[in-house]
Copies of this chain bind each other. A is one copy, B any other.
């Protein structure tokens, strides 16, 4: 019998398996999902299963209201956050969440990561935003659901578009990243960890570090992502 979700289960599986390879997770502290817009669902890592025991078939299929559609395992405890973001941001098909060391330390510090260099500007043109912690009512309420709104509101308040800024820190918690595919979301998680470590060291080396100037930010972003970009093939 045909399994019509096989392609996103495979995609989610492969993307999840990249997390330990890239050094972004300890034990099971991370999860990636892959969505199919036509089917209106996403495949996500089951909760608390060690990476070495994962298989594509174990990826749980969930709809954008966080209802499990297929799968006998319980989906990631962060599933509602994924669902909310997919529901409201219709151009993304992948989301990743890790507790990677440096990005999490910035999240715990409740600070945006300042844009200090071109490694950062190659990917986004603003500081990496840090969403403020929720108020106590939201925490006691539908916590993971509210986390999704906390992320969306933080972008909105800073005037940022999710199509361009594919990463955020959730204050006191850890980073979330997204993209056109699950693989791109994981790529963004690795880039964010890289940027977070460099920014930490930059401030340690020079206490009063200056943010990158606008011309350089624009140049580096445009050469990778602008209409006349010349990075990569095509």
Binding site for B on A (CB under 8 A): 26-27, 29, 46-49, 73-74, 77, 99, 101-102, 104-111, 116-119, 122, 133-134, 136, 139-140, 143, 172-174, 187, 190-191, 194, 197-206, 209-210, 212-213, 215-216, 219, 223-224, 230-234
In this complex, the member of A118, A213, A223 whose beta carbon has the largest number of chain B beta carbons within 10 angstroms is A118
Give which listed residue, B174, B199, B202, B234, contacts A119 with CB less than 8 A. B174
Asked if residues B204 and A204 are in contact (CB atoms below 8 Å), the reply is yes
Query: Given A139-B219, A187-B27, A201-B200: A231 and B117 within 8 A (CB)?
Result: no
| A215 CB contacts on chain B under 8 angstroms | 136, 139-140
How far, in whole Å, are A219 and B143 apart by their CA atoms in the complex? 8
**What are the nearest 8 A-B pairs in CB distance?**
A48-B232, A105-B201, A109-B206, A108-B117, A136-B215, A108-B202, A109-B205, A139-B215
In the bound complex, do residue B201 and residue A232 qualify as a contact, i.e. CB atoms below 8 Å apart?
no
Closest to A137 in B: B215
Which of B47, B77, B101, B173 makes the CB contact (< 8 A) with A201?
B101
Given A104-B117, A108-B198, also A48-B231 (CB < 8 A) = yes
Cβ B190 vs Cβ A26 within 8 A: yes
Contacting pair B77 A213 (CB below 8 A): no
Nearest chain B CB to A224 CB, angstrom units: 8
A191 to B205: give the CA distance in the assembly, Å: 19
State whether B206 touches A111 (Cβ < 8 A): yes
Instruction: Decide if B105 touches A233 in the complex (CB within 8 Å).
Output: no
CA distance A102 to B205 in the complex (A): 10
Give 15 CB contacts A-B under 8 Å. A26-B191, A27-B187, A29-B119, A48-B231, A74-B232, A104-B119, A106-B205, A108-B117, A109-B205, A110-B210, A119-B174, A133-B213, A140-B219, A200-B204, A204-B204
10 more contacts with CB within 8 A, not counting A47-B232, A105-B201, are: A46-B233, A47-B231, A48-B231, A74-B232, A77-B223, A109-B205, A117-B173, A140-B219, A200-B201, A203-B205
